[in-house]
Chain A
Amino acid sequence: MSPAEPVAAVPTDAALIAAWHGGDEPAAAELVRRHARALARFLAGAGALAADVDDLVQETFIRAFRALGRFRGQCQFRTWLMTIGGNVLKDAHRRSRRARVVPLGDDLRATDGDPHERVVAGEAERRLAAGLEQLPRMQREVFLLRAQQGFEYEEIAAALGTTPGAARVHYHHAVRRLKEYVK
């Protein structure tokens, strides 16, 4: 019977962040691999156009790595990353308004150019996306962090700089309004 091979421990986000601070580029790449898809889902849910998601994800990571010195571990790295993503998305919307770019319709949001894919995109999904657009930013982000990403209120509150009670209230307001769109 051969001895069991040691299982390589998966480094925590904190360990990867510390490694990146020490100049370890593969640690930064691993953080991107670990969180990029969840961030893309969050950004698409928050109203990013499908064509922009790739660039927004990159920009969010760049800003996050620039600001890592200010990250004190008050919340998970992923939650913190998504709050930065919200800021990046807001800036992108501001720039697109300034450039007078007409946004695509809801039926084209979060889909690519494939007509078949547009057809099969769920009606409820489109309605929810349309409803999310109408929400105040705080309600939208709390809802996505809770319902889409599955974070607890304590975690959401720590990331957004509010209290768990206030986060809960934002979530309930968001759900009440979104139900009207999805029903």
Chain B
Amino acid sequence: MNDDAPLHDDKLQEVARRLGARAADRLDVERTAQVVVARLRTEPRAQIRVLGGIRPAWLRIAAMLVIVVGAGVVVRSVWRDRPTATALVAGAELNGLSADQLRQVLEAVGQPGGEDEAISSQDVGLEDLSALELRALLESLEG
């Protein structure tokens, strides 16, 4: 007990030794032994082993994995279903239009492009040109 010398307190230890003495005296040890053995006998060993064999740490890890995978699935589905930025902006702009203006927009969207609509040079490749068009192109390049 030299380890406790700086804080040694006989009174404290004496009180601590008395603590719970009455509860211990009241305990019917023989009955407790019988009850424990009876419970061990009635509860199947297999069940005991299964429940007792799973360490809480593994249970915690398994629970965390389930939570992480579940959260991943939820986030992925939400991400997939979210509206695109363009749609959001367009939606916000359309909110400010009147009924007539909306009708005009719908009509404009429904119309196909005109024949005289300019085509960007980036939209057409050499492979899209016919033999005549290629010859005309070469001649124009030669001047």
Identify the A interface with B (CB < 8 A): 25, 28-30, 32-33, 36-38, 40-45, 48, 50, 53-54, 57-58, 61-62, 65-67, 69-70, 110-112, 117, 121-122, 124-125, 128-129, 132, 143-144, 147-148, 153, 168, 171-172, 175-176, 178-179, 182
Count of A-B contacts judged by CB separation below 8 Å: 132
B90 close to chain A: CB less than 8 A: no
B19 engages A172 (CB within 8 Å): no
Please pick, from A28, A43, A182, the residue contacting B11 in the complex, using a CB distance under 8 A.
A182
Task: Knowing A29-B37, A67-B52, A175-B7 are in contact, say whether A148-B17 is a contact too (CB < 8 A).
Answer: yes
A-B pairs with lowest CB-CB distance, top 3: A44-B20, A41-B20, A44-B23
A sample of 8 cross-chain residue pairs with beta-carbon separation below 8 angstroms, ordered by A number, consists of A25-B41, A36-B32, A41-B24, A65-B40, A69-B49, A125-B18, A147-B16, A182-B11
- Give the residue among B23, B30, B49, B51 with the most A Cβ atoms within 10 A: B23
B21 close to chain A: CB less than 8 A: yes
Please pick, from A110, A111, A147, the residue contacting B13 in the complex, using a CB distance under 8 A.
A147
A45 engages B19 (CB within 8 Å): yes
B3, closest chain A residue (CB): A168
B1-37 at interface with A (beta carbon < 8 Å): 3-4, 6-7, 9, 11-13, 15-30, 32-37
By DSSP majority rule, is chain B's interface helix, strand, loop, or mixed?
A: helix
B40 engages A25 (CB within 8 Å): yes
What's the Cα separation between A125 and B23 when bound, in Å? 13
Shortest Cβ distance from residue A17 to the other chain B in the assembled complex, whole angstroms: 13
What's the Cα separation between A61 and B29 when bound, in Å? 12
By DSSP majority rule, is chain A's interface helix, strand, loop, or mixed?
A: helix
B48 close to chain A: CB less than 8 A: yes
A53 engages B15 (CB within 8 Å): no
What's the Cα separation between A41 and B43 when bound, in Å? 27
Task: Knowing A124-B11, A148-B16, A175-B12 are in contact, say whether A40-B33 is a contact too (CB < 8 A).
Answer: no
B36 engages A28 (CB within 8 Å): yes
A175, closest chain B residue (CB): B7
What's the Cα separation between A50 and B21 when bound, in Å? 11
A69 engages B52 (CB within 8 Å): yes
- Further 17 A-B residue pairs, CB within 8 A, beyond A45-B20, A70-B52: A25-B41, A28-B37, A32-B37, A37-B24, A37-B27, A40-B27, A45-B16, A54-B27, A61-B36, A110-B20, A117-B22, A122-B15, A128-B12, A128-B19, A132-B19, A147-B12, A172-B7
